[in-house]
Structure 1
Amino acid sequence: MGNINPSLLHVGSTVGALFMALMVIFIRLKASSRPVTIRKIWIPPLGMSTGFAMFVVPEVRFPLWWAAAAFLIGWFIFAYPLIRSTKFEEREGQIFARRSKSFAFILLGLLLIRTLLHEFINQYVSIPQSGGLFFILAFGMILHWRFFMYKRYNQMAPPESRIPQPRG
């Protein structure tokens, strides 16, 4: 890690996470005034997937089962509040995300839990490894949430705007 003070790195990552959470709240509030599209559902996880490039750096790597555990925790536990707070409504023939009064509190609560977990996990792994673990946790959470949104969108969307579902 060179000459970077680990506690400065930790404070920086916490401030960065808080900034990102506030940006997500702001973006979601603005997004509720525009119709939902399939593209808007899938762009965030696709853009986030570029973060997997961090694992090219050897200091970030860890056992595969750690990655699987982090992904599953994000998928099954952290995504649940986001899924519960996401509702769609039809207006003027288009589908909109309904503003949720609890969304900001859910995001801030998830950030608080993430910060507490980060404190605990940093006792056992390096800061780059914990960053990688929490990235995979967040990716699992967002991917599950977006799969849910896509499924709900397809249930509500007019047939001509849907992507055909595989039969089976």
Structure 2
Amino acid sequence: MIIVALSQLLPLLGSLLAGVAVIIVRLKAASKPTSLRKIIAPPLGMATGFLMFVVPDTRIPWLWALAAFAVGAVFFAYPLIATSRFEVKDGQIYLKRSKIFVVIIVALLAVRVLLHDVVDAYVTIPQSAGLFFLLAFGMLLPWRLAMWKGYAVVEKQLAGDGASQGAGRAR
């Protein structure tokens, strides 16, 4: 009985700790200037997770994979894209803190916890991991691509302002 309770509680605690860690890292990052490297690093790093599909136990039908990615892109990425803005302070580009980010991370965690039993009734635990990975990657990739585009616009404006008004001048 205790082992069963622990087997259900430990993954939940792990997910909660991971979610809290993501929120803390994200909030700390907002206090430092951003760069193109900081924008593209997360999806590149996360892309290594696709190696999980080398293991046959994690494989899922293509339609399920596309659906998971699409749900992430539509329901989770869009609010982040809509609320992610850049600002210039002292000649540096910063990502403005978005309160919706914390809401999205908590919502992802809630979806995972609430759907855990439903998903596990149809797929194995490794397949569930694959589905939720694709959902998260579907959120991250479009969001970061939109950030890249927004960063490029602000960087171009900053370079134009610097050339016309003198380098290092804040907007």
Map 1:14-53 onto structure 2 (within 5 A).
Answer: 14-53=12-51
C-alpha RMSD of the superposition: 2.2
d(CA) in 1 for partners of 2:73, 2:100: 20
- Residue 18 of structure 1 contacts residue 111 of structure 1 at CA under 8 Å; is this kept in 2? yes
Say how many residue pairs are matched. Answer: 157
4+ long deviations beyond 4 Å: 5-10
- When the two structures are superposed, what TM-score results if normalisation uses the length of structure 1? 0.83
**Structure 2 Cα separation of the partners of residues 7 and 157 of structure 1:** 52
1:83/1:103 Cα in 2 relative to 1: closer, same or farther (>3 Å)?
Answer: same
C-alpha separation in 1, matches of 2:149 and 2:117: 35
Residues 33-112 of structure 1 mapped to structure 2, 5 A cutoff: 33-112=31-110
Match of 1:126 among 110, 124, 127: 124
> Partners in 2 of 1:81 and 1:92 — Cα distance?
28
- Aligned equivalents of 1:79 and 1:159: distance in 2? 25
- Partner SS, residue 121 of structure 2: coil
For the 8 Å contact 1:6–1:127, the answer to whether it is kept is no
More helix by share: 2
In the alignment, structure 2 segments of 5+ residues that lack a partner are 160-171
Provide the secondary structure at the position in 2 that maps to 1:123.
helix
Cα distance change on mapping 1:108 and 1:153 into 2, 3 Å: same
How many Å apart are 1:9 and its aligned residue?
A: 5.4
Secondary structure of the residue that 2:60 maps to in structure 1?
A: coil
Higher Cα Rg, which structure? 2
Q: Give the 3-state SS of the residue equivalent to 1:74 in structure 2.
A: helix
The runs of 5 or more residues in structure 1 that have no matched partner are: 162-168
Percentage of identical aligned residues: 50
Deviation of 1:7 after TM superposition, in Å, equals: 7.2
Q: Which residue of 2 aligns with 1:147?
A: 145
Give the Cα separation in 1 of the matches to 2:104 and 2:77.
10
Q: Which secondary structure does the structure 2 equivalent of 1:90 belong to?
A: strand
* Closer/same/farther in 2, CA of residues 7 and 130 from structure 1, 3 Å limit: farther
Residues 83 and 100 of structure 2 are in contact (CA less than 8 Å); yes or no, is this contact kept in structure 1?
yes
TM-score (norm 2): 0.81
